[in-house]
Amino acid sequence: MAKNILIIGGGPAAVFAAIEAKKRDREAEVVLATDEAAEPYEKPPLSKAVLLGKANPEDALIAGKGGLAAHGVTVQLDARCSAIDREARQVITTKGQLPYDALVIATGSLMRELPMLPPGAPRVHYLRTDAHGRALKAGLASCKHVAVIGGGLIGLEVAASAAQLGMEVTVIEFAPRIMARVCDDETSAFLLAEHQHHGVEIELSTSIKQVTPQLDDRLALETNDGDIVAADLVVVGTGVKPDEALAATAGLTVQDGIVVDEFCRTSDPNIFAAGDCTRFPGPQGAVRLENWRHAQDHGAVAGRNAAGANDAYRAVPSFWSEQYDLYIQGVGWPDPSVPRIRRPLSGKSLLMLEMASGVITYALGINAQRDLAAIRRLIERKVPVDAAALADPSKPFADMLKAKA
């Protein structure tokens, strides 16, 4: 009898879980249930190409041309999941009850909302779905001054897009530097200078004290230091939190994310979870990650294991961001306590590496794609390296790989 494998979610973790489950068990009935009205699409372009008018969300299906149907996966659209009946092994959705023998929860994350700037309020925008992206793009068409709350990846990508469209942009960041979660001080300063070069005003160590609608329809944002930022439109990019409510209600173990083991298995052996919604074992302890590559790789492992495999998640995580003509990449597991090494690069390029026990553990680069591709393999293979060679631009990373081979 064919196995029923059900995937809940509409992002890369869900899509790759579904595809890999079907590959692992060709006879299985694999169903993906998403609460969105569209086939799962790529979300990274929402803050960049979509705002700049270079792409539409529906043009980039995560599953590729032909969508999930081309992989033998059935998709249930507009299927919001309200409960998991673990005893009966079925999920209650707006489209009815969906049975499962194995279930993968890949519900992703939810936007962190600011009570003073709630979603749906006039001239306030959040960015998570294609509807959000279209609404923001339409709002920018008649906008002169944009205020962005948050100096992380999403906030700075929106700021860069708005600046390229010719608008005044103010970024308000609570932390003392931008992109503090993924960048060291020097890289943050590099990016800050680049945004300032494009005319973006960035206020650090700043929070919003009060929001007051103006007679001219603008919003006046009063900051903690008493300044007033009057904006035609406000974009809130203050991060996300795991979408764990469905799992918690079902009695699964959650702790700032659905707790899974290295095989993506939850506290119920028939239920797996993957992607942004999970907390999983990392090299430095239990961790959550919120990036596309992790979601893809984690989802693939969950899907294969739901179909009967027993694969451990060992992928090296990475992220990327595009801001102006800068391509920013991070690979590995950052650890502020380990030594950092900088390799001098020319022009608008930068490369920083972290080492522990004689191997590279993390690298952050700007416009250094070729170097990062080789560094990823060095990290994955745990190739011993020399710190002096890492700092010497005359020593190619590819040669370090060849020496190991």
Give a yes or no: residue 313 inside a domain.
no
C-alpha span between 43 and 21 (Å, rounded) = 23
Give a yes or no: residue 311 inside a domain.
no
Residue 274 has pLDDT above 60, yes or no: yes
Q: Which domain-ending residue is among 236, 263, 291? A: 236
Give a yes or no: residue 157 inside a domain.
yes
List Cβ neighbours of 15 (8 Å cut-off, separation of 6 or more): 32, 40, 62, 63, 68, 299
Residue 232 has pLDDT above 60, yes or no: yes
Residues 293 and 194 in one domain: no
Name the band, by pLDDT with cuts 50, 70 and 90, for residue 44. low
Residues 51 and 192 in one domain: no
Please report, as a single letter, which amino acid is at residue 361.
T
pTM comes to 0.91
pLDDT, tens digit, for every residue of 86-96? 999 999 999 89
C-alpha span between 200 and 155 (Å, rounded) = 12
Residues 123 and 198 in one domain: yes
Q: Which domain-ending residue is among 221, 236, 251? A: 236
Phi, psi of 366 (to 5 degrees): -125, 120
Residues of the domain holding 91: 4-110+241-306
**CATH code of the domain containing 22:** 3.50.50.60
Residue 401 has pLDDT above 90, yes or no: no
The total number of structural domains in the chain stands at 3
Residues 106 and 247 in one domain: yes
- β-sheet with 318-323: strand ranges across: 318-323, 326-332, 359-366, 350-356, 340-342
Residues 258 and 151 in one domain: no
Residues 24 and 82 in one domain: yes
C-alpha span between 113 and 239 (Å, rounded) = 9
Residue 54 has pLDDT above 80, yes or no: no
Residues 218 and 301 in one domain: no
- What pLDDT does 270 receive? 97
- What pLDDT does 46 receive? 58
Residues 183 and 266 in one domain: no
Query: Hey, which bits of 90-142 come out as E strands?
Result: 90-93, 96-99, 102-105, 109-111, 124-125
Residues 79 and 171 in one domain: no
- Name which of 301, 331, 299, 295 is nearest 313 in CA terms: 301
Residues 390 and 247 in one domain: no
Task: Average the pLDDT over 258-287 and give the result.
Answer: 95
Residues 391 and 290 in one domain: no
Residues 70 and 131 in one domain: no
- What pLDDT does 405 receive? 53
Pick the range with the lowest mean pLDDT from 84-88, 335-339, 366-370: 335-339
For the chain, what is the mean pLDDT? 92
